[in-house]
């Protein structure tokens, strides 16, 4: 199979990240779906959020609606310009939960919510999950039995091997880059360009984000977000397995004068209420059984 390395920029040869861009992008993976609960590969097939997934999405929405509540997320002030999401229902419903939480703040009149218009909520086809072809809807155990060489190859060398009938990483990268370009171009519109000739180590004076810096939220999937991270940081597709995101994990990428900086990765602290409930259930079961 082809091992071609994709372009590091756009079709016209310009860089993917606009020169001098000062902005922030938040990546949010969707909540648990029914197929994840059942251990099935999803790809571009539809699988709705499970009951747990809907709770995860609501908690993620509350977290992003109040990003500066302790512990603060490293995002600018105000509301995001847009919430762009994969068209698949599990991502669209998670994105809607975020938009609803931000709209709820407008209703109660919180200062952050009234300082800027509500973000645009839009489907972005380029954020579709990686197509998994014949593996979609099939459990991991079944894939291991019927396609042992292929699944082993995918896990060892994803640039060379992908699901039968599915997308290669090069194909995903090619359709993802125009989507990222649209998001980044919108962030750079009507906002002054920055420079890297300023303090770069956070904690020192002058290194923090400007409060008015624009930011946006992308809601999508673990697989496509791996490719997003590689594209933003100009890393080869062979590094695909270097990034991972938990369900409703939040990652924050800041652009400082056009340079991508990873400010946070896979934050899931907003899921603490669910984890606390699970721990209480385990403790109660142990208490009833007398187990230590």
Alpha carbon 290 to chain centroid distance?
42
* Residue 256, C-beta contacts closer than 8 angstroms, at least 6 positions apart: 22, 194, 196, 198, 200
Q: What share of the chain is helix, strand, coil (3-state, %, to 5)?
A: 40, 15, 40
Q: Which of 32, 62, 82, 129 is catalytic?
A: 129
252: left (phi over 0), alpha (psi -120 to 50) or beta: beta
Q: Which of 30, 85, 162, 270 is catalytic?
A: 30
- Alpha helices of 139-242 — where are they, by DSSP H? 140-146, 148-156, 169-188, 222-232
Looking up tokens 């998994």 gives 132
Known catalytic residue: 30?
yes
Q: Could you tell me the two tokens for 21?
A: 């861009």
Known catalytic residue: 221?
no
Q: Could you tell me the two tokens for 192?
A: 């002054």
Catalytic residues: 30, 129
């Amino acid at each position: 199979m082809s091992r071609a390395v994709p372009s590091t920029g756009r079709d016209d040869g310009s860089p993917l990240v606009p020169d001098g861009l000062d902005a922030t992008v938040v990546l949010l993976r969707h909540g648990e779906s029914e197929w994840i609960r059942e251990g099935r590969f999803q790809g571009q097939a539809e699988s709705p959020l499970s009951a747990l997934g809907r709770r995860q999405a609501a908690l993620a929405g509350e977290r992003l609606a109040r990003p500066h509540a302790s512990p603060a997320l490293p995002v600018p002030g105000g509301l995001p310009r847009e919430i762009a999401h994969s068209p698949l229902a599990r991502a669209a419903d998670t994105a809607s939960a975020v938009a609803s939480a931000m709209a709820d703040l407008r209703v109660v009149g919180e200062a952050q919510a009234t300082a800027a218009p509500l973000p645009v909520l839009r489907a972005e086809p380029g954020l579709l999950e990686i197509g998994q072809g014949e593996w979609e809807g099939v459990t991991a155990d079944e894939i291991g039995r019927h396609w042992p060489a292929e699944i082993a190859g995918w896990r060892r060398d994803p640039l060379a091997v992908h699901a039968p009938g599915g997308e290669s990483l090069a194909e995903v990268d090619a359709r993802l880059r125009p989507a990222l370009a649209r998001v980044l171009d919108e962030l750079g519109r009507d906002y002054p360009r920055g420079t890297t000739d300023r303090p770069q180590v956070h904690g020192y004076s002058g290194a923090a984000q400007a409060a008015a810096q624009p930011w946006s939220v992308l809601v999508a999937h673990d697989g496509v977000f791996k490719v997003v991270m590689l594209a933003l940081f100009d890393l080869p597709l062979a590094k695909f397995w270097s990034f991972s995101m938990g369900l409703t994990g939040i990652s924050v990428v800041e652009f400082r004068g056009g340079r991508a900086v990873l400010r946070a990765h896979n934050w899931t602290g907003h899921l603490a209420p669910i984890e606390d409930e699970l721990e209480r259930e385990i403790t109660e079961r142990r208490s009833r059984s007398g187990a230590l």
